[in-house]
Each structure stands twice: as structure tokens, then as C-alpha cells.
Amino acid sequence: MESLFGDTYEPQDEKSRLFADVILPVPIPKMFTYKIPRNLAEEVGIGYRVMVQFGQKKVLTGIIGKVHQKPPKEYEAKTILDVLDTYAMVNPLQIKFWAWMAEYYCCHIGEVMNAALPAGLKLSSESKVQLNPTYDADTSPYPLDEREEVILQALATKAELTYEDCQELVGVKTIHGILKSLVIKEAIIIFEQVKDKYTPKVENRIRLCHPYASDKQALERLFQEIAAKPKQEEVLLKYLQEIPVYQNPALNSKGVEKKVIADAGLSMSSLKTLIKNGVMEEYKLIISRFEDKEGSGEEIKLSEEQQRALNEIKQGFQDHQVNLLHGITGSGKTEIYIKLIEEALASGSQVLLLLPEIALTTQMVGRLQEVFGSRMGVYHSKYSDNERVEVWNGVISGKFAFVVGVRSSIFLPFDSLGLVIVDEEHESSYKQYDPAPRFHARDAAIMLSWLHQAKTLLGSATPSFESFFNARTKKYGYIQLNQRYGDAKLPEYILSDILVDKKKNLLKLDFTRVMREKIQEALNKQEQVLIFQNRRGYAPYISCEDCGWIPECEHCDVSLTYHQFSEEMRCHYCGFKENVPKVCPACGSGKLAAVGLGTERIEESLALLFPEARVARMDLDTTRSKYGYQRLLEDFGAGNVDILVGTQMITKGLDFDRVTVVGILDADRILYFPDFRAGERAFQQITQVAGRAGRRERKGTVVIQTRKPDHYVFDAVMKGDYKNFYVNDMTERQKFFYPPFVKLIKISSRHKDYKTAEKAARHLHNLLSDIQVRKIMLGPEKGLIGKIKNQYIFESLVKLDKSGNAQAVFKQELQRILEEMYANKEYRSVRVVVDVDPY
């Protein structure tokens, strides 16, 4: 275990604190040793951000991962240029967590740091500030103090701030570091980043200087002092009349906005004299970006079923670190979470609740906010840098003992987690694809929780087969909730055969007869409808009816999606766009047709089929703005929309009582996916989207359009037969060596030249095959999509034996092989991507 997590022991004696190992955002798998300047030895430790020189020309910001006495063997340690923090931004537990992540997911700790820190804390790490090569500190014509003066002046002019502002914002300590190594121009670049990212939101206010605020006698003394200046006294009296601060000192302590003063009929210039004479002062109020709200403090009443589950979870925590709550859609998992969170907080622990990206702006967060108020921090990717930094600091300061967030919230600086909940734990969006670390937030959260000796609760209506496997093998505790909350019933399913309707000429604009009827019935009863199609745009592609030509992306091996609204064809992999040609470039025919179904087209068809209905669309294209998703949902909840068509976005966590019909337009797209998880995923997606129907007293109906109504997945979904489905799927996985029976690692080689990519992949594959552990290797093969962003992709798949040390040995050897490969001129420009537990 020592080597796994690194040694985060920190010598207390300042004389022993000679060297710091610094984590830097560079693609080299280790930390770098720097000398700690003597004058800073007392002020730094693990988790402080420092500025260091890297190579000849770069200055980077890194984080101290270790403090010790040993000079590095291979190189002469440079001295840390400066320390950026007055307290640790990252705690030792986090460093251990980063080290674990780097090792498990085969990446560099610097990459983990990059993913972990909100951009607002990363400072110059990406700007690659250039050192001035001709500058020599010892022969500089300016003494240090003067240089500081010069640089501050320059900053002041450039940034249109006062000298004091600059000093306050940049911090004198940082200025020192910059000064020692940079010329003014570069310092300004840094400064502007600092200014943007660190400037708290401040409001300029005015208040009385302290002793006069609450003390009437002191005020009288003051009046005597300024008796000779009746104008000032008049102003002051008026101020006190309008803003009675000595009756209510709180009014003074936060100061008064200039606007309020103007409204009271006081001129700013007369106040200026009072400020000059030290009677009043200007004051900057730092404002939180988050509203202050009290929690409701309401007492939550659980149903009998919920109470039983809660008791079982608590029981489960006695002997299992991880427990799985398998509760059908609408069973009321949220209220159970709330109870557990309240108890953990009351015992003084921190709590983290993970939600999939999309679910985060929904009702659930609103519900939690109602209960917990501003004790709860929200960590979301649509938040600004500043907001994220505020949550980060709020966790350190104790303001947020409870955070609900997306996958990156596992990196927040918790130091005493007691409970980690992963809701919708089966969600594939918990997996980060690019860039490294390619972690799975659920799995990483379990590790994080383990490091804190905390408890973990995984929740889902359709658990991932991995988690269910762990429950069946008693590695996890297991709790079931089989009833919907209240009297709600599970929905009824109708399978509608597209081919049958087509033959009978009953298919209208891609809607079967029964689908249209069910929608119409719901509309007649003023109920709402959700239509699911996991494909945005108008049509998956355009095709020439005469010669079959299909437009493809110039940079990727995919066809271009047709977006009618913007009148263009777009690549969903690289963003490339092109106008739709008037005639086929291959044969000159004018017959170009849009083929297949995207959400845009379905929206259009619905408007034609149900002209009286109000139709809205929810997909990536309609929810790009920060509150786009929320606004659409509010509209839907308020009943301003009758039919909502959308991608997987509408499957997650929506809880609306008037939704009675859910339509799945092309279920076959979900069934046939070349992946060993295809069945599991189809079961999950259909069950989840169906679970949006009939969540209260009205019964729901789910209509599924398919060309394969007898497919076994439908049968399992309709019967709600998760277990049987699982057992069948597991038999297959065991037979063909797939997780959870083996550990999968995907290794892809990417290069702009086809031959080079292929050759590198073969070379790598052969070296990996030689590693002496129990494993099966597949490939190398062209990727499922052979080219993305002009890079050709070849992949090898490794299936490792899970028992013994095959994993550890393989990963170690892999790292060695990759280092060798990068040292080889032939392969230096090949990008190798390692994906552990790929999805």
C-alpha cells in the first residue's frame, strides 16, 4: 500500500523541510523536487500551490505533494520561486487519492491534478509564460524593491486599477516570485489571469469608522471635533438620520451602498471630506455568488416501505462499506437520501452526493435545496470558474459540509467525509472519456470514501451489472424498494410493430397508429407526453436517392448529421459544419433526401400530427445556455408544453405528475450496439424513460415502436424482470470473458498518418502480449470509428485475470513499455490512450 498512495508524511521540524516534491501539469509520471527557500520553510507544506521554473523557459504552477530532506539524485534541485497560498488548497488525503487515480487509470498525477482543480485555481499552468532569457537577477540594474515598484506601476496602468488594488489582488508574496523571474510584460499576462480568477465579487460601500458606529458619546465628541465645519456636521447628521447605525450596529458593519446614500440626498463629495477626515471609510463588501437561504427544517415523513429500507441501509453499513439501494423508479429514494444526509451532518461528518451531469439542474437539487438551504454546495460544470472556486473554498472553510455535484466533485477538498451517495449509479456519464484521467466517478467515489473510512450508498432503479454482481457476491450490502411512493403504479407497456403499420399504410410521419392514438388520448385529458429519441439534429444523414452518396466529415469517419434549423450538416465528433449541397456532388442529381429520425424532425412531425398541441424539444442544441435546461423543465412543469421530445436528457430524474404517456420512437437503435453492455444498457434506458410515466395517481402508458417486438429485452423490461435478465447476461459475459469476470483495458494508438498509427498499434500490441500475466488480448483493430479529428485510431483490448496481481504487473509493465516507445523516434508522435474499465 505504501507505494500505491505515496508517502504523505510531512516532517514537522522546519529544519527538515528542505525539499518539496511538486506535482506539475506535465505529461511525465512523477513529481519534481525543488528546494524550499529558507524564509518560506515555515509557511509551506503539502497542498500549497507554488510557482516553479520548469526546464529553461517555463514557469508552472504546481502543488506540493510531499516535503522531505532528500536532495534528488539525477538533477540539481531548483528553488521554489514563490508560494501562492496562505493555507493548503489541497489536503494530504486528496494527494493520496490523486496518486491512487493515476496508478489505477494509468495516467500521470499531473493530469489528475489538472482534472481535480477548478480552472480558477490553476493560474498560469497553461499559459506557458516565457522567462526572459537575458534577464539575470544578480546583474539587474534595479534593486529588488525598485523592481517591485516598477512592476506594480506597470500593472496598475495596464489593468486600470489603483496601485493598492494591485497589491491587494496579486498579493505581495506572488509579486516577489514574478519579479525574481519575469519581465514586466509577462507579469502582466499572469496578473490578468489572477485578476479575473481571484477577484472576489465586491461591492464598494461606505460606513462610519468603528468607534462612532455604536457609541453615542463618541459621536458627540466627534461633532465637537468637526464643529468648525458645519457643512460636514450637517451631512453626518443627515446620514445618521437616514441610516440609524448606532441603534443598529449591524447596519454599519456591512456598510451602505453609494446608491442608498445618493437616494438619501447626500452628495458623494461631501462624504469624501468625511472620509478624508477619518470619520467615515470606504469599504469593500465581499459578496458570495450564492444566495443565502435557510433550510426548511421540515420533518420528513417516510412511508413504511421507505423506513424499512432506511433501517436496512443503516444495518448494511454495519458490515459493508458499500451498499446498493435498488429502488424502482418513483420509489422515493431521494427522501431516504435526505434522512441519511441529515444524520451524517448531525454527527459532524461531511457528505457528498453525486448526480449525473444532466440530473443536476433538475427537481432533485431544488428539493435538496429546500431542505438544506445554503449549507449545501452545488458543484456543476455549467458554473463559472469563480463559483467553483467558491465551492472549493467553502468546503475548506466548513461553509459547505454537504455538496451535491457532478463527477468532478469527488475532487473537492473534503477532509472528513462520512457518507458518499452515488445516485443513478448505473449512468454511463459517470465515466470520463477525455482527457485523462479516464475515471469512473462511481468507482473513484468508492475509493475516496474508503480513504475517509466513510460509507457509500449506490442508488439506482436499474443497477449496473457490476454493482449488482458485487451485491450478489456479498461484497456490497443490498437493499430493495419494490413499491412506488404513494399509490402510483408502474406503467403499462405497448409494443408497436413499425413494419406491420408500414405494410398496412398506417405509419404517418414515422408514428404508428397506436402511438398516435395514445398521444391523442393524453392530449384530450390535458395530460403530458414525453417522446424519446436518442439522436439530435433533423436526420442522421442526407443521401442521394439516385446514386446513394452520403456526405461525410472531412476529418472523421462518420456521416454528417443534418440540422434543418440551422440549414447545415454537422459532425458530432469534431464540430465540422458544411452547407447542404443543392445537387449531389457525385452524380449531379437534385434528389437529396434526409434519412432517419432526429429530435428536430420528430418535433416537426408532431407539430403536423397534433396541430393543437404545444411541442418543445430538449437536446444538447436547445439547452446550451447555463439555465436552458432548467427553463425548459420549468415550462414543462408549469404545463406550458404538452409534448416534450428529447434525447437521453429526458430520461433522467424527471418527476412530473401529469406525464402519462411516454413514447420511444426507435427502440431498435438502443438494442443493436456493438458492445458487451448493449443489453444491459437497453434494459436501463427503456426502464428509465418508461419510469417517467404515471408517477402519481394517474396510470402511465409506454408505447415502444420497434421492428423486433419479440426481442428478449422488451420481455424483460415489461415484466420488470431485472434479475433474470441479469443472470442471462452474466452467463454470456462469463463465457466470453467480459467484466465483471475480467478486468478490461483498452489501448488505442492515434496518428494522423494511417500507416504509422497501424504500425505503432502492432508494435505496442506485440510488446504487451509478451507481458507474463494471465490475460487475453484482442486486436489491434481499426477503431469503431476509424478516424476522429484527422487521427486514425487502432485499438487493442486486454482482458486481465482479476485474481492475483495480473493487474498491477500489467500496468507497471505498460508504463515501462510506453516510456520506451516514446523514447523511440519512430513512435514519438503517436498518441497512445489507455482506458481502464472502458465504456
- From ligand ADP, Zn ion, none, which one binds at residue 576 (CB under 5 to 8 Å depending on kind)? Zn ion
Q: Which residues bind ligand ADP (CB under 6 A)?
A: 301-303, 306, 327, 329-335, 485, 655
- From Zn ion, ligand ADP, none, which one binds at residue 405 (CB under 5 to 8 Å depending on kind)? none
How distant, in Å, are the alpha carbons of 77, 505, 518, 523, 539 from that of 611? Answer: 74, 21, 16, 11, 22
106 labelled binding-site residue: no
Label each residue of 281-304 as H, E or C.
EEEEEECCCCCCCCCCCCCCCCCH
Q: Name the minimum Å distance from CB 582 to Zn ion.
A: 12
What residues pair up with 283 in beta bridges, in sequence order?
Answer: 205
- Measuring CA to CA, which residue among 651, 616, 652 is closest to residue 632? 616
Q: Which residue's CB is nearer to ligand ADP, number 66 or number 333?
A: 333
- Measuring CA to CA, which residue among 117, 184, 112 is closest to residue 155? 184
Residue 542 binds Zn ion, judged by CB under 5 A: no
Q: Which residue's CB is nearer to Zn ion, number 116 or number 571?
A: 571
Q: Is 86 exposed, middle or buried (0-12, 13-18, 19+ CB in 10 A)?
A: exposed
Helix/strand/coil percent split, the chain, to 5: 40, 20, 40
Q: Is 303 exposed, middle or buried (0-12, 13-18, 19+ CB in 10 A)?
A: middle
Instruction: Name the closest residue to ligand ADP (Cβ).
Output: 332
CB 751 within 8 A of CB 763: no
Q: Name the minimum Å distance from CB 332 to ligand ADP.
A: 3
Out of 584, 633, 806, 833, which residue is the one contacting Zn ion (CB under 5 A)?
Answer: 584
Q: Name the minimum Å distance from CB 421 to ligand ADP.
A: 12
- From Zn ion, ligand ADP, none, which one binds at residue 496 (CB under 5 to 8 Å depending on kind)? none
Number of Cα atoms under 13 Å in the Cβ half of residue 158: 18
Q: Name the minimum Å distance from CB 740 to ligand ADP.
A: 25
Q: Name the minimum Å distance from CB 538 to Zn ion.
A: 18
Q: Name the minimum Å distance from CB 463 to ligand ADP.
A: 13
Out of 587, 593, 727, 785, which residue is the one contacting Zn ion (CB under 5 A)?
Answer: 587
Residue 589 binds Zn ion, judged by CB under 5 A: yes
Measured from the Cβ of residue 233, the count of other Cβ atoms closer than 10 Å reads 18
Residue 832 binds Zn ion, judged by CB under 5 A: no
Q: In residues, how long is the chain?
A: 839
Q: How far apart are CA 590 and CA 545, in angstroms?
A: 9
CB 693 within 8 A of CB 530: yes
How distant, in Å, are the alpha carbons of 587, 607, 781 from that of 604? Answer: 30, 5, 40
Q: Name the minimum Å distance from CB 675 to Zn ion.
A: 21
Residue 785 binds Zn ion, judged by CB under 5 A: no
- From ligand ADP, Zn ion, none, which one binds at residue 303 (CB under 5 to 8 Å depending on kind)? ligand ADP
**Hey, what's the cell of 350?**
461531511
CB 64 within 8 A of CB 21: yes
CB 687 within 8 A of CB 721: no
Q: Name the minimum Å distance from CB 637 to ligand ADP.
A: 12
- From Zn ion, ligand ADP, none, which one binds at residue 332 (CB under 5 to 8 Å depending on kind)? ligand ADP
Which of the stretches 433-441, 553-561, 684-692, 726-734 binds Zn ion when contact is defined by CB under 5 A? 553-561
Site string for Zn ion, 456-495 (x = CB under 5 A): ----------------------------------------
Give the CA diameter of the chain: 101
The 742-751 sheet, strands edge to edge: 775-788, 791-801, 742-751, 831-836
The pairing of beta strand 659-664 with beta strand 561-563: unpaired
- From ligand ADP, Zn ion, none, which one binds at residue 468 (CB under 5 to 8 Å depending on kind)? none
- From ligand ADP, Zn ion, none, which one binds at residue 586 (CB under 5 to 8 Å depending on kind)? Zn ion
Q: Name the minimum Å distance from CB 665 to ligand ADP.
A: 23
Q: Name the minimum Å distance from CB 655 to ligand ADP.
A: 5
The pairing of beta strand 742-751 with beta strand 791-801: antiparallel
The pairing of beta strand 577-579 with beta strand 775-788: unpaired
- From ligand ADP, Zn ion, none, which one binds at residue 712 (CB under 5 to 8 Å depending on kind)? none
Q: Which residue's CB is nearer to ligand ADP, number 302 or number 613?
A: 302
166 labelled binding-site residue: no
Q: Name the minimum Å distance from CB 684 to ligand ADP.
A: 14
Q: Which residue's CB is nearer to Zn ion, number 500 or number 586?
A: 586
**Hey, what's the cell of 806?**
495480473
Q: Which residue's CB is nearer to Zn ion, number 51 or number 571?
A: 571
- From Zn ion, ligand ADP, none, which one binds at residue 257 (CB under 5 to 8 Å depending on kind)? none
The residue type at 670: I
- From Zn ion, ligand ADP, none, which one binds at residue 362 (CB under 5 to 8 Å depending on kind)? none
Out of 586, 613, 773, 817, which residue is the one contacting Zn ion (CB under 5 A)?
Answer: 586
Measured from the Cβ of residue 832, the count of other Cβ atoms closer than 10 Å reads 18
Residue 569 binds Zn ion, judged by CB under 5 A: no
Q: Name the minimum Å distance from CB 687 to ligand ADP.
A: 11
Distance of CA 198 to the CA centre of its chain: 21
Q: Which helix (H) or strand (E) holds 579?
A: strand 577-579
Out of 555, 614, 752, 782, which residue is the one contacting Zn ion (CB under 5 A)?
Answer: 555
Residue 814 DSSP label: H
Number of residues lying near Zn ion (CB under 5 A): 15
Out of 187, 235, 494, 556, which residue is the one contacting Zn ion (CB under 5 A)?
Answer: 556
For 658, list phi and psi in degrees, rounded to 5: -95, 0
Residue holding cell 516553479?
52
Q: Which residue's CB is nearer to ligand ADP, number 486 or number 548?
A: 486
- From Zn ion, ligand ADP, none, which one binds at residue 333 (CB under 5 to 8 Å depending on kind)? ligand ADP
Q: Which residue's CB is nearer to ligand ADP, number 301 or number 828?
A: 301
Residue 547 binds Zn ion, judged by CB under 5 A: yes
- From Zn ion, ligand ADP, none, which one binds at residue 547 (CB under 5 to 8 Å depending on kind)? Zn ion
Out of 223, 450, 549, 712, which residue is the one contacting Zn ion (CB under 5 A)?
Answer: 549
Which of the stretches 55-63, 259-267, 565-573, 702-710 binds Zn ion when contact is defined by CB under 5 A? 565-573
Residue holding cell 512592476?
151
| Residues 6+ positions from 446 with CB-CB distance below 8 Å | 321, 322, 420, 456
Residue 573 binds Zn ion, judged by CB under 5 A: yes
CB 677 within 8 A of CB 837: no
- Measuring CA to CA, which residue among 333, 329, 353 is closest to residue 341? 353
107 labelled binding-site residue: no
The residue type at 190: I
Q: Name the minimum Å distance from CB 617 to Zn ion.
A: 23
Q: Which residue's CB is nearer to ligand ADP, number 423 or number 621?
A: 423
Tell me how many helices (H) and strands (E) the chain has: 29, 31
- Measuring CA to CA, which residue among 531, 536, 542, 666 is closest to residue 601? 536
Q: How far apart are CA 468 and CA 462, in angstroms?
A: 9
Angle at 762 between CA 759 and CA 763, to 5 degrees: 85
Q: Which residue's CB is nearer to ligand ADP, number 337 or number 439?
A: 337
209 labelled binding-site residue: no
Q: Name the minimum Å distance from CB 336 to ligand ADP.
A: 8
Q: Which residue's CB is nearer to ligand ADP, number 362 or number 796?
A: 362
Question: Which chain residues interact with Zn ion by CB under 5 A?
Answer: 544, 546-547, 549, 553, 555-556, 571, 573-574, 576, 584, 586-587, 589
**Residue set of the binding site:** 544, 547, 553, 556, 571, 574, 584, 587
**Residue set of the binding site for Zn(2+):** 544, 547, 553, 556, 571, 574, 584, 587
